[in-house]
Amino acid sequence: MVFRAACIKLLITVKILLCAHDDNVDAVFLRVVPNRSQFFEYEAVTFHCEGVSHYNVVHTLRGKIKSCSNTNEKTATGSSCSIKNLYTEESGELLCETGGGEKSNIINITVTAGSVILESPAVPVMEGEAVTLSCRNKTTSSSFTAEFYKDGIPIRNSSTGNMTIGRVSKSDEGLYKCSISSAGESPVSWLKVTGQNTDEKQQRADPESHAATPWIIVAVLLSVVLVVGALCHFGKDYWDRGKENNKHYISCRILCSFFFLF
């Protein structure tokens, strides 16, 4: 009976560990493909909501995006939906929301009918990473000179239409736009820079190792229960015969009592 009670305690512990791990892994996260915050009108886009099997893409001002709700597909990491034609009125803050009311991070996109956009990441950039901003002309793909602005101030001219920041820092956070001579200028987009703690870096570097951690703990706990439980349960005869060695007998009984009480 005591051994059975210990096994039940172990199962409860395992359940708590795995549920806690699932809550951490299954956090709802919205990303957009291609990963940029500006789009030309009538461009296609795909939204991925990781961590849930079904969701609605919601515009914070206009509500659910119907075209996305109709193309919701399950993926290996969650769900995704594709919109063939974006319209200017779909500009603004978007998030994914589950039937239970759980909400993801917010992504801000701008859909323009103009001729120039700035391709900048829609999701925050980690400090220390490299990021490239590209000025794009809707009417031509040939080379052109673009001027980049941060917070309304010109910061760089580029004959390739690209601007790379080698190691992003918080000081690079701000409102960016670009302009092309004779074509016009893009809307502005906020480049957000965020820090990253050691645990997050480790998880990005070795996600399989991180995911396996709870199972390693479970295996160790199970092994300890089986070994100590077997010794306590099936070793009674041996201990009874060894009562003469009182010190050894008492030590074993204390070990078993402590283990099962815990």
Residues 15-57: tens digit of each pLDDT: 444 444 444 434 789 999 999 999 999 999 999 988 887 788 8
pLDDT at 220: 56
Instruction: Tell me which residue has tokens 């299954």.
Output: 26
Residue 220 burial (CB < 10 Å; 0-12/13-18/19+)?
A: exposed
Global pTM reads 0.64
Cα 248 to Cα 45: distance, rounded to the nearest angstrom: 71
Q: What tokens appear for 76 in the block?
A: 């290996």
Residues 81-139: tens digit of each pLDDT: 888 999 999 999 999 888 788 899 999 999 999 999 999 999 999 999 999 999 999 98
Other CB atoms within a 10 A radius of the CB of residue 214 amount to 18
**What are the DSSP E strand ranges found in 36-89?**
38-40, 45-50, 56-59, 63-64, 73-74, 78-83
